[in-house]
Structures are given as structure tokens and as C-alpha cells.
Structure 1
Amino acid sequence: MRSKSDKKKPLVPRLRFPEFREAGAWEKKRLGTQGGFLTPLSGKSAKDFDAGDAKFIPYMNVFSNTFTDIQDLRSVIITDDESQNAVAKGDVFFTVSSETPEEAGMSSVLLGDVDRCYLNSFCALFRFDDHLSPNLIFLGYLLRSRSVRCHLSRGAQGATRYNISKLVFKELPLVFPLAKEQQKIAHCLSSLDEVIGLESHKLDTLKNLKKGLMQQLFPQEVA
């Protein structure tokens, strides 16, 4: 009789680039085996925010962006005697609380270094161990994939507000192909995002054009 492990199908996607169809199965890893969590901003009061020369990443920046928007930062006071964990390229941020299970555990990956920047206290900060970080763009899309979102949504606990524990994050199953396939997937999806961004900009331009034309093509009633 075959064991349950023997019955498990290899982890391969339904759609694969031709050059990787014979590359074998993807490797499954738990997030907690790849690095650890660091404490985000702590010990701050309202008067410390929107002042000072340090920066912090707001909750909605993490919630809304697969890749952290470094233009969407706020100021915070950080004194020389404080022991705070500054963020670094490759860090992963997770929201830990939300109004619905489906919105809990949203992720954002930091693609570049930002000087004297910290993470808001309502998010979790994960950092990969040296040499274990995957392709960062691939990682960003992976963490927003359906299987990851399902795991985190199921792990959210609460009634009026839903929270995710560090244990749920640590047990998060991730699947990785070889580095070259990661790069190929990252390039494909990021290229599509670039096209979407350009088309969205064109759409906004056309909407503004239409609005301006309507204001000029119809007479304005004088009060």
C-alpha cells in the first residue's frame, strides 16, 4: 500500500515556460526556516510621529503595495540612544491585523535600501538569513499568490478584528523553483505590471480630457 507521502504530487505549476518544463518540481519551504522576525517600531507616542528626520513605513503602504512604495513614507523621531530595527533591502512586511480574515496578513517586499527607515508597529518585519533570500520580485508576487493568501486568511483569528500570530507566519508554506526560473517569472509579471501602469495612466489622461471637454462643450448657466 502506498503511503500518503508517495501519493503527493510533485509541486509544479500548471503553466510553465518551455525552458523549465523539465527542470523538476519546486521546493517547498516554511517561512520560519528561512529567517526570523524583528521587532518593528516600539515605545513611540503620538508626539513622535510626523516629526523628526527619520522615516517609517505606514500600515497602508504595506497593505496596498506588493512592493513597498518608498515615496509613501512618514516622518518619525528616533533618538541616538534608541534601539530600533531599521529596515533593509529584502525585508518582508506583513500586516498582522485587519477587519476581515481575507485582508489579514497582506505582504510587501522592500526592493531597495532606505536610510534610517523603520516599520510601523502594526506590522510584522521578517528578514531572510544571509544567502537564503529568493529573487525579491518573485517573492513579492509569491506572497500575494492564492495559496499564500488562503493560508494566512485561514490563520486569522478574531471576531470584530482579525489577527495573525507569528506562528502562523512561521508555518507559511512557500514554494521555490531554481533561481533562473524565479527570475523569468519575476520579469514576466513585473513587465505586465508596467504595461498596466502605463495603460492606467493613459486612462486617467483620457478621463481628464473628457472632463475638460464636457466643461467647454456645454454652456455654463450664469447665476
Structure 2
Amino acid sequence: MGNLNKVPTIRFPEFKDAWQHKKLSEFLKEAKKRNGDLKYGKEHVLSVSGELGIVNQIEHLGRSYAGVSVHQYHVVEVGDIVYTKSPLKANPFGIIKLNKDKAGIVSTLYAVYNVKEQNAYGPFLDYYFSLDANTNRYLRPLVKKGAKNDMKINNAYVLHDRIFAPSIPEQKRIATFFTVLDKKITQLKEKKAMLEQYKKGVMQKLFTQELRFKDENGKEFPEWDEKNIGEIFSIFNGYAFSSNDAKNEGVPWVKIADVGIQEMKKENLSFLPEDFLEKHKKFILRKGDYVIALTRPILSGELKISVIDDFFDNSLLNQRVGKIVSENNTTFIYYMLQQSWLIKAIENNIAGTDPPNLSPSEINYIKIEIPKVPEQRKIAQYLSSVDRKIQSSYAQLVFLKDFKKGLIQRMFCN
């Protein structure tokens, strides 16, 4: 078994030797250093995140969840690898991450390992285990689960199985390549966050009239009018389709669970028979329509209102989801409904608490200030252009993440 070797599907051309199948114990050794001298306090406790890796617990979660005493906690140096003995949705046997940032401590529920630098390069192992399939494949044969879904495995036994790995120079070459890719991913995340923050700020200024556009002739637009919501738009309720009609394919069925904040969700989708389009014509949704969740319509201070995209074009609208209807500019209304003061006013008019339900008739008399249609168009066009930049950044981010995942699958032997 130990002499088994392999070659990855894709590799850098300067490397020719086959990868060797070695026990993880040849690359890692258990780190048994404890925080007995209390060098590290509760402010140095680390958490392990599937997406973010090893992070400071207070910075990541907002508080420390450490016990009364941290003197028995494991010390984690920069460059150490940590195995988290707790299940995640994508990783039912836990996750394995490299500490890239700052030294700290973790509870005894974690296992900590030093990298044997003569045989392994820590970032290479981190990228190997960044792929859920690799982590699950490695841990599944080793881990026994208790009645409470807890992990039954001692720290030394974690190193008992094998992975394929190349020479140190090839490990470093691969890790360096993915580090550059990760920097690009981070830059795209920062760009998207910056654009989202800019949009939030400019929306605040536009809807408080601190910032105003000029008309096509460079003149001031008229003053805004005060109107009731019911004078500006209405909400068209969906149809009470039966769950018995649900199919695995067919016409997308837009339910409450599909309505996100600004963007539609695409998990746990349902479909209806194709002939329902003819039977229920007035409930058809088209690309560019705006829908709002009428049950539990507010999440973390944001209104669950989404734009229908390509995927949901020619879909059917379910009960307790409403379509925004207006004679003028529904895109302007979409942005207007993202204003925190208006969301608060809507929240104050929601009926019931379990679950809270939005009744269109109960919000019709909320008063708002609104510009004339030409200025509405200007505002909607500008904010739409910012949204397109955000969506472009997001699309690039998704592409790069998928590209990275695909490369890891092909550049690592399994």
C-alpha cells in the first residue's frame, strides 16, 4: 500500500515523478503544547470556519465562548494544522485547516498538529483539505460517531490514513499557485463589498434628496410629492398551487423560500407541470419583475424583495408571494423599498407575529415622498448601473471559485 503511486491529471511540466501514497503521520505530528502558563487569554481563543479557516473567535463571532479556565487549551502556532471534531453540513466528519494568521489557543475539542517540514509544506496540505470531497474521503473511514453526533477519534489516530503527495518543491509550486488565485478571489470580494457599501451610501443620499440629478437640459427636477404607498404601487398575490402538483422538472414555482434579499435563491426548487402556464396565465412571472415575500417578509432589517432573473423567467407565482405592480417605474420602487425607514414603517404594519404576515392593504396608507417619473427613471438607471457592477464582480467571484475548485480536483491525486 505504501508503495502505491499516482500522477495528477494536471501538473506543472517541470515535475515528472509520481506522487507517493503516504500516511498523514509522515507529514504531521501531534502538537501537545498546552496553555499552562496562561500566555494566551480568552481574547486569543481561535475558531475554525469552513470558509474563513482559523480566525480569532471574538473577531469572527463577536464574543469568546471559552470556559472558565483556558490553561488546558491547546496552543496553536502560525503554521500549525487544526482538526475540528465537530460536524458541518458539507463536512460531517469535521474540517482540517492551517493557521495562517496569528498564534492563539483552541479548546481540547480540537486536535492540533505541527507540520514536519522535511516532508510537507503546510499550505499544500491546507489546499488539499480545502476540498470537501478530500476531507470527507480521508476522515470517513477513521471517525466513529457517538449518539450525540460527536466524533469518536483520538488525536493520534487522525494521522493513521494516507494521502497522495509529491515532493516538497512540487508541493510549494502548487501552494504558491493557489495562493495567487486566492489573492485574486480576495480582491474580488473586497471590490464587491466596496461597491455594495457605495450603493448603500448613495441610495441614502438619493432618497433623502441630499443628492439630486438634473434633467436632460441640466435643470432642477420638481420637488418631490408626498403620497400614500397605495397610490404608487400595488401587490398582486400569487395562486395557491397545491404541493401535490409539484414536479422534479417543468415550470419553476416561485415560493416564499425562493425570495431572497435583492436576488432570487435557487436551492430546494419546486416545479409545476408545463400546461399550468396556459391554465394560470395571470400568475406568470417574467424576467425583470419584482416579487416580495408576504410571510416573514423582513430578515435582519432587510425586506425580502427580489428581481426575477433568467432562471425564473416564465415561472409561476405562488400564494404568499406578491408581485410589485405599478403604472410607472417598478425598478425605482424596488430601490425605494430597500430604504431602512420604509422597511421599519412596513414592519410596524405587519399582521401577527407567528409567522408575521404582510398584508398589502395594511401598508397602503404609509406616506412617502416620491419624485416625478423622469427623476424616478434617472435614479433607477443609476442604481441599476451600480447593481450591474456588483453582479459582474459576483459572477467573476463565482467563476474564480469554481475554477479553483476544479483545479484542486485535477491537480491533487485522490
The answer, yes or no, to whether TM exceeds 0.5 is yes
- Rounded Cα–Cα distance in structure 2 between residues aligned with 1:215 and 1:82: 46
Map of 2:372 onto structure 1: 178
- Rounded Cα–Cα distance in structure 2 between residues aligned with 1:205 and 1:126: 32
**Does 1:169 pair with 2:366?**
no
Alpha-carbon contact 2:233-2:325 (below 8 Å) kept: yes
1:113-132 to structure 2, matched below 5 A, reads 115=314, 117-128=315-326
Once the two structures are TM-superposed, the CA of residue 53 in structure 1 deviates from its matched residue by 5.1
The counterpart of 1:86, out of the listed 269, 273, 283, is 283
Give the 3-state SS of the residue equivalent to 1:181 in structure 2: helix
1:1-223 to structure 2, matched below 5 A, reads 13-19=209-215, 22-34=220-232, 36-42=234-240, 44-50=241-247, 54-65=251-262, 74-77=270-273, 85-87=282-284, 92-98=290-296, 106-108=304-306, 115=314, 117-128=315-326, 133-207=327-401
Once the two structures are TM-superposed, the CA of residue 187 in structure 1 deviates from its matched residue by 1.7
- Rounded Cα–Cα distance in structure 2 between residues aligned with 1:126 and 1:167: 13
Taking CA–CA contacts closer than 8 Å with sequence separation of 6 or more, which of the two structures ends up with the larger relative contact order?
Answer: 1
Alpha-carbon contact 1:12-1:25 (below 8 Å) kept: no
Gaps in structure 2 of 5+ consecutive residues: 1-206
Quickly say closer, same or farther: Cα 1:124–1:104, change in 2 above 3 A: farther
Q: Which amino acid aligns with 1:96?
A: L
- Rounded Cα–Cα distance in structure 2 between residues aligned with 1:199 and 1:37: 32
Fraction of identical pairs, as percent: 21
Gaps in structure 1 of 5+ consecutive residues: 1-10
Quickly say closer, same or farther: Cα 1:173–1:107, change in 2 above 3 A: farther
Q: How many residues align?
A: 202
Query: What is the TM-score with the length of structure 1 in the denominator?
Result: 0.65
Alpha-carbon contact 2:223-2:371 (below 8 Å) kept: yes
Query: For 1:184-214, what per-residue CA distance to the aligned partner results, in whole angstroms no more than 9, with x for missing partners?
Result: 2112111111111222233345555666787
Once the two structures are TM-superposed, the CA of residue 41 in structure 1 deviates from its matched residue by 0.9
Query: What is the TM-score with the length of structure 2 in the denominator?
Result: 0.39
Alpha-carbon contact 2:297-2:304 (below 8 Å) kept: no
Once the two structures are TM-superposed, the CA of residue 141 in structure 1 deviates from its matched residue by 0.9
